[in-house]
Amino acid sequence: MGRLAQTDGLTEIQRDILATVRDFVDKEIIPVATELEHKDEYPTAIVEGMKQLGLFGLTIPEEYGGLGESLLTYALVVEEIARGWMSVSGIVNTHFIVAHMINAHGTQEQKDHFLPKMAAGEIRGAFSMSEPGLGSDVSAISTKGVRDGDSYVLNGQKMWLTNGGTSTLVAVLCKTDEGGSSPYKNMTTFLIEKTAGFGPNPTVPGLTVPGKIEKMGYKGVDTTELVLQDVRIPADRVLGGVPGKGFYQMMDGVEVGRVNVAARGCGVARRAFELGISYAQQRSTFGKKIAEHQAIQFKLAEMATKVEAAHQMMVMAARKKDSGERNDLEAGMAKYLASEYCKEVVEDAFRIHGGYGFSKEYEIERLYREAPMLLIGEGTAEIQKMIVGRRLLEEYRIAE
């Protein structure tokens, strides 16, 4: 396995879980990932395998049928899965975010209704905050929910839903204008149960998932839009039962998501390093293995250092969240560092492969197309730097 990206202080249960997932990745994901990715084919067999391992219930409390594990365990599992194929980690990411939001903010009825089925993988979640004209400015949200008796009527268009077609539960952020002057108190999260599939939804009148968005990478997993035209949702499907708390609920979920993206960056970078150092010991130029050339050794040293630094930053952010403390500073740092380092490590591995790195026969070609998504997912590098900068000014503010 090598000495990189090790985590101190894990329990025996955590080590056993990671060993099981690592074995699953090596046997069930890596051998088929490139073929499925090139076909843009949903990894049905892999998802069924993850259900059997109980991974969809990894962080859901035991009282609801889950494993009750920590965010750290979740992040380390995601790192292992992303090492095999980043798209598969995306399938569990939004599911985990929605499960976390329901467990942290949902009513008891919502927890009892959703969490046991989510733990079993029978209900799979998707997370819907972004919109076509929204970008990083969540306050500019335009999808609207209007109270009508015991229901809300939702209208608008959402964008960039991972698992938008295959999910059966979507947490959707809408503007509700019930919280006063602050735009951040006028947003509400709705829990929408739907049937998996594309096109007009047969069980939710007015809800449409138009189809998959074609992407340069991050294939296999479906990324979609969500169109809502007079969609009627019962008021008891407002997350937490009280409108106006959606922004804060979503930001809590995004913190979990940022640790996830950091973990994905760590996993992809580690796989790129493995491919690079292996290829360097097989390829010969000028009468010796290219691993014996000082230039390549320097490159491998830089790659390994970045893999290790990103992993330890990700672990710190996950442990901070597990402690119950505010972790937006650490999550922002981890997401920023891991995604940037992932891009750099993948590119260095690509360079080590030379012309063969440009061939679809080699795995590094897939990683080269996957890494850019991490630069923008769950907030761009610029957004992370804004968050980190503001938090640092709070922490180090001088007396006036």
User: How does DSSP assign 281-346, residue by residue?
Assistant: TT-EETTEEGGGSHHHHHHHHHHHHHHHHHHHHHHHHHHHHHTTS--HHHHHHHHHHHHHHHHHHH
Distance CA 67, CA 49 (A): 16
Report the residue count for the chain.
400
Count of H-run helices and E-run strands, the chain? 11, 10
Q: Is 176 exposed, middle or buried (0-12, 13-18, 19+ CB in 10 A)?
A: buried
* β 125-128/169-175 pair status: parallel
By three-state DSSP, how is residue 386 classified? Answer: helix
Burial 219-228 (b: 16+ CB within 10 A, else e): bbbbbbbbbb
Q: What is the CA radius of gyration of the chain?
A: 21
Distances (CA, A) of 31 to 41, 46, 82, 312: 15, 11, 14, 28
Within 8 A by CB and 6+ apart from 270, the residues are 4, 5, 79, 83, 307, 311
The residue annotated as part of the active site, out of 214, 378, 382, 400, is 378
Give the count of beta carbons closer than 10 Å to the beta carbon of residue 395.
8
Distance CA 93, CA 313 (A): 19
Structure tokens at 143: 């999808």
User: Quick check: is 214 catalytic?
Assistant: no
Mind telling me the catalytic residues? 378
